[in-house]
Amino acid sequence: MHEFKYRDQRLVCESVDLDEIAERYGTPVYVYSAATLRNNYRRLEKSLEGLNTRICYALKANSNLAVLRVMANLGASFDLVSGGEIRRVLEAGGRVDRSVFAGVGKTSEEIERALRNGIFSFHVESEPELERIDRIASGIGVKAPVAVRVNPDVDAGTHAKITTGRSENKFGVPFDRAPDVYALAAKLRNIEIRGVQIHIGSQITKTEPFVAAIEKMRPLVTELKQRYGIGYFSIGGGLGIAYESALASGEAAWWEREDGGKHLLTPERYGRAVAPLLRDLDLEILLEPGRFLAGNAGVLLTRVEYVKHSGDRNFVIVDAAMNDLLRPAMYEAYHEIVPVAEGELAFTADIVGPVCESGDCFAKGRRLAATREGDVMAVLSAGAYGYVMAGRYNTRPMPAEVLVDGDRAAEVTARETFEQLIAHERIPEFL
């Protein structure tokens, strides 16, 4: 369940009125619900009860320090992909020594930082990376714990830009080559084989791809356990969320469409599908959810600047743009958009930002309530891959972020000022 709903026709996050947040902190502003983050975490944990699990929050989805603190307080581990993310987790009081370090392009500096902070395991994506980790570990006199990311070559049935488990992707080592890569790892003196990992893609809305990937991996996992005594199997992240009807469903879950119909695919359903395939492996099971934990725990508030009628189309021009929330422009992603003051559906419009590109469009042909200049709208399911993918295109400052917990709200990232935005730029003397 997420904590965004109408109360007396006003949209609230937990007990806080979103119109007041827009008033107090300005727009565009991301707003996160701490209770939703906690609910999502506990619900996922519970759906795999009985297994020995470790949830490694993929902070690439939302790496705000306050969000990380909420996760750390829940006992979460983390899925890290950069030296910067390692530092963030440390800043937030999280456990790097219970976290994993992933990514196809780890630099020497990042590897060393991870080792010096006692990383639980590296998720290795190639042989040259394995050799580099061995060298660096030897240089500082430690053994580097690793798991190899194996590409099981299954189709996750998701957007081309976020599917990762096919053999043509850059990720992991091909399934058939995995035994050789483990053999190399076993030969390297400063490498300790600790586990095996897969991740097949993101925003996966069915159980089948997860099941197919785990089934394909089972014989290999068993062999690796016998041969190298691995202690864990990471089944990655990728659990999708509801983007359509996100408000009405009130669900921290995702839709599956079959025969035109749809039903909720909940974490419980995910758990029921995968747990039976994992139990007898008798290994620690790592999960790397990002979107599932953070996605529906956040919205982007934006204020209407103009309502424009152009030929037979209506445009609602808002003060957020593709630089603030890139997903619609980049993936043609659907986000539900609702007014913070509830109203009857009255007209159809495109909701667009002010950036000078036609791709700067949040929604096309949406049914909306009567909308006027100054109204505040909420772009839903924006808690994951929202702020973290924001930029400064058109010299638009980075937006603010606010965290709500019960009846309290706090600005957890201040809106960037113009001075901060240009602070790293220099005009050389020779000009």
Give the catalytic positions in this structure. Answer: 356
Residue 236 contacts ligand LLP per CB under 6 A: yes
Q: Is 387 exposed, middle or buried (0-12, 13-18, 19+ CB in 10 A)?
A: buried
In whole angstroms, how close is the CB of 414 to ligand LLP at the nearest point? 24
Query: Judged by CB under 6 A, does residue 202 bind ligand LLP?
Result: yes
Q: Among 203, 249, 296, 314, which residue sits at the site for ligand LLP (rule: CB under 6 A)?
A: 203
* 399 in contact with ligand LLP (CB under 6 A): no
CA-CA-CA-CA torsion sign (207, 210, 216, 222): negative
Q: Which amino acid type is present at position 332? A: E
Strand, helix or coil for residue 180: helix
d(CA 377, CA 370): 12
Q: d(Cα 304, Cα 48) in Å, to the nearest integer?
A: 43
Q: How far apart are CA 97 and CA 301, in angstroms?
A: 36
Q: How many residues does the chain have?
A: 431
298 binds ligand LLP (CB under 6 A): no
Question: Per rule CB under 6 A, is residue 28 in the interface with ligand LLP?
Answer: no
The conformational region for residue 57 under phi > 0 = left, psi -120 to 50 = alpha, else beta, is: beta
Binding of residue 68 to ligand LLP (CB under 6 A): no
C-alpha 71/C-alpha 94 separation (Å) is 8
Closest CA to 48 of 255, 270, 197, 206: 270
Residue 19 touches ligand LLP, criterion: CB under 6 A:
no
Rounded to a whole number of angstroms, the minimum distance from the CB of residue 406 to ligand LLP is: 26
Q: Is residue 353 part of the contact set for ligand LLP (CB under 6 A)?
A: no
Residue 102 binds to ligand LLP (criterion: CB under 6 A): yes
Size of interface with ligand LLP, in residues (CB under 6 A): 21
Within 119-173, residue ranges assigned H as helices are 127-139
Instruction: Choose the binding region for ligand LLP from 271-279, 282-290, 313-321, 371-379 (rule: CB under 6 A).
Output: 282-290
288 lines the binding site for ligand LLP (CB under 6 A) = yes
Q: Cβ of residue 201: shortest distance to ligand LLP, in angstroms?
A: 7
Nearest CB to ligand LLP, comparing residues 307 and 389: 389
238/339 with CB nearer ligand LLP: 238
User: Of 28-36, 106-114, 196-204, 413-421, which part binds ligand LLP (CB under 6 A)?
Assistant: 196-204
Residue 233 CA: distances (Å) to CA of 11, 172, 278, 288, 352: 41, 14, 9, 11, 44
Q: Which residues bind ligand LLP (CB under 6 A)?
A: 58, 61, 79, 102, 162, 199, 202-203, 236-239, 288-292, 327, 331, 384-385
